[in-house]
Amino acid sequence: MIAPKIIRRLQSVLPPDCLLLATEDLKPFETDGLTAFRNIPDVVALPETENQVKSILRICHESGTPIVFRGAGTGVSGGALPVDGAVLLAMTRFNRILSIDPLARLARVQPGVRNLAISEAAAPFNLYYAPDPSSQIACTIGGNVAENSGGVHCLKYGLTVHNVLSIRVLTIEGDELVIGSEALDSPGYDLLALLTGSEGMLAVTLEVTVKLLPKPERTQVVLAAFDDIGKGGAAVGAVIAGGVLPAGLEMMDRLAVEAAEAYAHAGYPLNAKAILLVEVDGTQEEVSEDVMRVREILLAAGATEVRTARDEAEQKKFWAGRKAAFPAVGRLAPDYYCMDGTIPRKSLPDVLKRMAALSEQHALPVANVFHAGDGNLHPLILYDANRPGEWEKAERFGADILELCVAHGGSITGEHGVGIEKINQMCVQFGSAELGAFHGIKACFDPDGLLNPGKAVPTLHRCAEYGAMHVRGGKLPFAELPRF
């Protein structure tokens, strides 16, 4: 619990409606998008001015009180999960778009501005903000910076780190730093890259300047069906090796296709073992040429059916199924657990095969939805939280999937972040030297470890315990796989 004296200090710098203390007010903040983890915060601060943010940080710094930052709370790794004894600081009231410069193609916004709101504000100039996480209608740009959020179009347009020009942040020691600029580079170290994706561990973001891109002249979507998921996986690599850089390249397996079709009636071929959605964009001519090439490559890769959307309505329909995949799969079981591993594309067939075996072993079904072009998997593990022990089983299955990704040279998280969820798997992906370096970086910005404690980077002690649990019986997980 936070000491009453600290609450009193917070009350002295914040108006009453900016500080929540009653249990019924705190309850909505007990979790973020990863609802399997819940913890009612001690206190929630909803500041309205930068001076209030500075005061909160100063009080926390002086009193050694931890802080957890939060945007819209749509994150799916528990990054905004409240920590006992900490202030939960929500930046959602900083929701103003400060300026849009159509000539220089940039937008300067407060951190609580929603991702989609930026593109909406830029639309009159035929410009948009490229990263489009599936939560873009609700998630904030401050949260996107903290998580280095991705989306469907990362392969061509990059992640948040590739689309942010500058951030203004506040450190726990009260230093206000402008990192990056409206120019394309800045002197000194690339702290913009370091802070993007730092999961609220290093500083709080006060302002973000993002790059806007011209809207492509034309977009086209090709849908391909495969009678074998391995062939679908191989086709992904073939498209890219064929010299096409699609704006989006998505894949769904049979279970996901069936669920999506039943839910969204997208017109997907139901007998397919896998479908691919390939979106190409650019000028009229580029799109025409790319569509022809993509069709040829997909057919050569063994697609049983290739359809090009006839018009915008059909494009939307193709996408509707993919975009509804999560809620659609959600109807198959009381709960699902969404994973976020990445692998080299070439490992797709192997990993899928191995995942099917794991599904049998854990006796839990899994539906697969991927940003296949990026090698980013989103396996959805179906379970029933009301059945005793089933969540633990799902969690263990999820951990096995992530470790499978690492064993194939991939990563435990492509775009969702580590948060609290994948903290143990960090011990699998990184050695103690790298984890030590991460703790060193953390100490540069937050020497007392007050920002989002216990998240993103595990202590070596925790890893030792996790490792001990793992090698029990002398068996490494996936010992058959080469490790390098």
Judged by CB under 8 A, the chain residues 195 through 214 that form the site for another protein are 196-198, 201-202, 214
> Minimum distance between the CB of residue 76 and another protein, rounded to whole angstroms?
12
User: Please, which residue, 175 or 392, has the CB nearer to another protein?
Assistant: 175
376 touches another protein (CB under 8 A): yes
- The token duo for 179 is 């990192």
To 10 degrees, what angle do helices 284-300 and 229-241 make? 140
16 touches another protein (CB under 8 A): no
User: Please, which residue, 307 or 345, has the CB nearer to another protein?
Assistant: 345
22 touches another protein (CB under 8 A): no
Query: Which one among 45, 53, 88, 244 touches another protein, defined by CB under 8 A?
Result: 244
Considering only residues 112 to 131 of the shown chain, the ones binding another protein according to CB under 8 A are 125-127
184 touches another protein (CB under 8 A): yes
User: Please, which residue, 10 or 278, has the CB nearer to another protein?
Assistant: 278
Query: Which one among 85, 158, 449, 477 touches another protein, defined by CB under 8 A?
Result: 158
The distance from CA 117 to its chain's CA centroid, rounded to whole angstroms, is 18
> Minimum distance between the CB of residue 383 and another protein, rounded to whole angstroms?
24
296 touches another protein (CB under 8 A): no
> Minimum distance between the CB of residue 174 and another protein, rounded to whole angstroms?
9
Mask for 29-48, x = binds another protein (CB under 8 A) = --------------------
Place of tokens 């100039």: 125
- The token duo for 444 is 């540069």
> Minimum distance between the CB of residue 129 and another protein, rounded to whole angstroms?
14
- The token duo for 142 is 């401050």
226 touches 232 (CB < 8 A): yes
Q: Which of 127, 156, 179, 166 is nearest to 245 (CA)?
A: 156
CA dihedral 9, 4, 62, 25 (to 10 degrees): -70
DSSP 472: G
User: Please, which residue, 10 or 135, has the CB nearer to another protein?
Assistant: 135
- The token duo for 234 is 């191989």
The stretch among 30-38, 66-74, 176-184, 300-308 that binds another protein (CB under 8 A) is 176-184
> Minimum distance between the CB of residue 236 and another protein, rounded to whole angstroms?
8
The stretch among 67-75, 131-139, 177-185, 309-317 that binds another protein (CB under 8 A) is 177-185
147 touches another protein (CB under 8 A): yes
> Minimum distance between the CB of residue 246 and another protein, rounded to whole angstroms?
11
Q: How many residues bind another protein (CB under 8 A)?
A: 97
- The token duo for 425 is 């798997």
471 touches another protein (CB under 8 A): no
- The token duo for 389 is 């022990």
Q: In what order do the strands lie in the sheet with 366-371?
A: 305-308, 218-226, 274-282, 248-253, 366-371, 376-383, 335-338
The stretch among 34-42, 113-121, 238-246, 267-275 that binds another protein (CB under 8 A) is 238-246
The stretch among 38-46, 132-140, 324-332, 368-376 that binds another protein (CB under 8 A) is 368-376
CA distances from 355 to 164, 396, 452 (A): 35, 13, 33
3-state class (DSSP) for residue 462: helix
The distance from CA 330 to its chain's CA centroid, rounded to whole angstroms, is 19
Task: Give me the amino acid identity at 211.
Answer: K
The stretch among 34-42, 303-311, 383-391, 421-429 that binds another protein (CB under 8 A) is 421-429
Neighbours of 476 (CB within 10 A): 13
User: Please, which residue, 317 or 455, has the CB nearer to another protein?
Assistant: 455
Q: What value does the CA radius of gyration of the chain take, rounded to a whole number of Å?
A: 23
User: Please, which residue, 102 or 327, has the CB nearer to another protein?
Assistant: 102
Cβ-based burial of 246 (10 A; exposed 0-12, middle 13-18, buried ≥19): buried
90 touches 78 (CB < 8 A): no
231 touches another protein (CB under 8 A): no
Considering only residues 41 to 100 of the shown chain, the ones binding another protein according to CB under 8 A are none
3-state class (DSSP) for residue 412: coil
Mask for 325-344, x = binds another protein (CB under 8 A) = -----------------xxx
DSSP 19: E
- The token duo for 58 is 């100063």
The stretch among 24-32, 54-62, 328-336, 443-451 that binds another protein (CB under 8 A) is 443-451
Query: Which one among 111, 180, 232, 282 touches another protein, defined by CB under 8 A?
Result: 282
Q: Which of 171, 44, 49, 207 is nearest to 451 (CA)?
A: 171
Query: Which one among 167, 179, 278, 369 touches another protein, defined by CB under 8 A?
Result: 179
Q: Which of 25, 26, 28, 139 is nearest to 77 (CA)?
A: 139
The stretch among 58-66, 92-100, 157-165, 468-476 that binds another protein (CB under 8 A) is 157-165
217 touches another protein (CB under 8 A): yes
Task: Tell me the C-alpha distance between 174 and 126, whole Å.
Answer: 39
159 touches another protein (CB under 8 A): yes
